[in-house]
Amino acid sequence: MREKIKKQLLHNLLLEVSKRYDYIMEQNARIFEETNYKAIHDELTGLYNRFYFIEQLKKALYLAQRHQRYGAVLFIDLDNFKVINDTTGHKAGDALLKMIAKKLKNALREEDVLARFGGDEFVVLVEDLGEDEGQAVKLVRGVVDKLLSSIAYGHIVDQKVYQVTASIGIALFHHGEIEIDDILRYADSAMYEAKRKGKSQAVFFNPMIEERLQRRLLMETSIRQGIDEGEFFLVYQPQIKNGRIIGAEALVRWNNAERGVIPPSEFIAFAEESRLIIVLGEWILQEACKTLKRWEKDPILKNIKLSVNCSAIEVMESDFEQKLMRILTRYGIGRGKLCLEITESLLMSHHASLADVIHRLSEFGLKIALDDFGTGYSSLAYLKSFPINILKIDRSFIEDIYLDRSDQTLVQAIVSVAEDFGMQVVAEGVENKEQEQAIRAIADHIVVQGFLYGKPLPLEAFETAVKERSAEYGKEGDA
């Protein structure tokens, strides 16, 4: 009897132990699965992450080489996501990303690998595209068409409809030796090419893109070096009112060790693409403030106002204001001395997120000038919602003003509406007496800037010019 009870007890105990063991094993398996899932998935969309994608790409490259079959990597970047995200908030942005992830997934075959690398950047790996290049290209085009049309319809988030387009860069791979990093870079640069070509389209990588890419990388490196080695400097172009110099526009130049002085048209775009403009722009602002500080000690120069050009990328940086305030405080720049030139197209494309920034800058005593006015198709009434102090009429309207009646009418209208709104007007790019006369006939008091009055000059030469003109036209600043 005793033996029987003992046996039973032992049996129960063993059962208990094994149940616990099973439980623990189950727990372990679950934890393992969860960590495993997290390790290879993107948390927001549930798509694969970069880590998993690269593992799969490694395998794919190996297999493509072995079986001599084509495959492709597609970089997908949403064209207008940043604006949507900035204007509607991150929650709506996240919801939209999830929705798009789902649509992209549905447009692909089960065996294609779709990953999100972060932000609005999706990447696709497509294998088994056959042994013939033409065939592979055709097949990829089919995939791309499906992807683009899957997201072409409006997406509804919080009862609002969002229209989204994407730019796609494609890099094919085959048997040749190719590095993972290279193929990703190719797809990425083809994607940039698609953006450059006007967005909402797909571009195949080709060696010409590679060449441009190489040039861009080289440029980036030398811009970075140039900043470190103090190769950039500012020149100052006079702004004239009633004959006197009342201000200057600071324009950046690059004195490169090998190539000599390089104009901004050859490097600003590169600096923007690589975001180096953020560092360069900070240096420019600092240099401009240094100059204003230097002028403060001079009875004539202290009346000169200085304008600085700001790029979209710079102004959109979240700490732009803090940086600017720090510089202004450091050099003790008084209210109304420094003017920021922002292009009309920048204002149009980022108006929602820029409005607050511009209002705060203006409250802090900075002047705001709208650069290249007339090229961005905005209405003056619309611009009234921004605290804009100065309107710079683009050179293209000044060029033929003495010949073209419609340019005269246009400039006349701009001046009268701008002045109604309390904005000062600057006519840019005045090169000859005929243009000057035509402008004077419309409004003799507006500010003019152009080669007729002076090319952009190095600091000291500009200072001399101010003093000479001041002797000629009388001292009192009036602006």
Q: Which residues bind ligand C2E (CB under 6 A)?
A: 237, 251-252, 263-265, 268, 284, 309-311, 341, 371-372, 429-431, 450-451, 456
How far apart (Å, rounded) are the C-alpha atoms in residues 354 and 244? Answer: 34
SS3 string, 397-459, reads HHCCCCCCHHHHHHHHHHHHHHHHCCCEEEECCCCCHHHHHHHHHHCCCCEECCCCCCCCECH
Tell me whether residue 301 or residue 308 sits nearer to ligand C2E (CB atom): 308
Cα radius of gyration rounded to whole Å, the chain: 31
474: left (phi over 0), alpha (psi -120 to 50) or beta: left
Contact range with Ca ion by CB under 5 A, out of 218-226, 285-293, 309-317, 348-356: 309-317
Tell me whether residue 202 or residue 250 sits nearer to ligand C2E (CB atom): 250
Residue whose tokens read 């068409």 = 145
How many Cβ atoms sit within 10 Å of the Cβ of residue 357?
18
Tell me whether residue 282 or residue 371 sits nearer to Ca ion (CB atom): 371
Tell me whether residue 107 or residue 310 sits nearer to ligand C2E (CB atom): 310
450 binds, among ligand C2E, Ca ion, none (CB under 5 to 8 A by kind): ligand C2E
Contact range with Ca ion by CB under 5 A, out of 146-154, 224-232, 301-309, 431-439: 301-309
Least distance CB 453 / ligand C2E (angstroms): 8
Classify the C-alpha dihedral 117-122-127-133 as positive or negative: negative
How many Cβ atoms sit within 10 Å of the Cβ of residue 17?
10
339 binds, among Ca ion, ligand C2E, none (CB under 5 to 8 A by kind): none
Tell me whether residue 120 or residue 371 sits nearer to Ca ion (CB atom): 371
189 binds, among ligand C2E, Ca ion, none (CB under 5 to 8 A by kind): none
263 binds, among ligand C2E, Ca ion, none (CB under 5 to 8 A by kind): ligand C2E
Structure tokens belonging to residue 279: 């560092």
Structure tokens belonging to residue 291: 């100059």
Structure tokens belonging to residue 273: 């693409």
Contact range with Ca ion by CB under 5 A, out of 17-25, 233-241, 341-349, 462-470: 341-349
Tell me whether residue 48 or residue 254 sits nearer to ligand C2E (CB atom): 254
- The yes or no reply on residue 407 touching Ca ion (CB under 5 A) is no
245 binds, among ligand C2E, Ca ion, none (CB under 5 to 8 A by kind): none
Least distance CB 81 / ligand C2E (angstroms): 24
431 binds, among ligand C2E, Ca ion, none (CB under 5 to 8 A by kind): ligand C2E
Tell me whether residue 265 or residue 379 sits nearer to ligand C2E (CB atom): 265
Residue 456 Cα to chain centre, angstroms? 27
Least distance CB 433 / ligand C2E (angstroms): 13
Tell me whether residue 45 or residue 237 sits nearer to ligand C2E (CB atom): 237
| Stretch 252-271 residues interacting with Ca ion (CB under 5 A) | none
Least distance CB 396 / Ca ion (angstroms): 10
Helix axes 351-363 and 81-88, enclosed angle (nearest 10): 60
> Which of 188, 314, 341, 436 is close enough to bind Ca ion by CB under 5 A?
341
Tell me whether residue 54 or residue 346 sits nearer to ligand C2E (CB atom): 346
**DSSP at 329:** H
Q: How many residues at the interface with Ca ion, by CB under 5 A?
A: 4
Tell me whether residue 204 or residue 373 sits nearer to Ca ion (CB atom): 373
- The yes or no reply on residue 309 touching Ca ion (CB under 5 A) is yes
What own/partner pairs with CB < 8 Å and gap ≥ 24 does 17-23 have? none
Least distance CB 54 / ligand C2E (angstroms): 36
How many Cβ atoms sit within 10 Å of the Cβ of residue 151?
19
Tell me whether residue 374 or residue 429 sits nearer to ligand C2E (CB atom): 429
Q: Which DSSP string corresponds to 285-297?
A: HHHHHHHHHHHHT
284 binds, among Ca ion, ligand C2E, none (CB under 5 to 8 A by kind): ligand C2E
| Beta strands 305-309; 244-256: pairing state | parallel
- The yes or no reply on residue 282 touching Ca ion (CB under 5 A) is no
| Stretch 351-380 residues interacting with Ca ion (CB under 5 A) | 371-372
Q: What are the CA-CA distances from residue 289 to residues 240, 319, 365 (Å)?
A: 21, 18, 14
Smallest Cα–Cα separation from 104: which of 120, 86, 128, 127?
A: 120
Helices (H), 244-388: 268-273, 277-296, 312-316, 320-331, 344-349, 351-363, 380-383
- Nearest residue to ligand C2E, scored by beta-carbon proximity: 450
How many Cβ atoms sit within 10 Å of the Cβ of residue 109?
10
* CA 379-380-384 angle, 5° bins: 120
- The yes or no reply on residue 303 touching Ca ion (CB under 5 A) is no
Question: Whole-angstrom distance between the N-terminal and C-terminal Cα of the chain?
Answer: 114
268 binds, among ligand C2E, Ca ion, none (CB under 5 to 8 A by kind): ligand C2E
Structure tokens belonging to residue 261: 């002085």
Binding site for Ca ion (CB under 5 A): 309, 341, 371-372
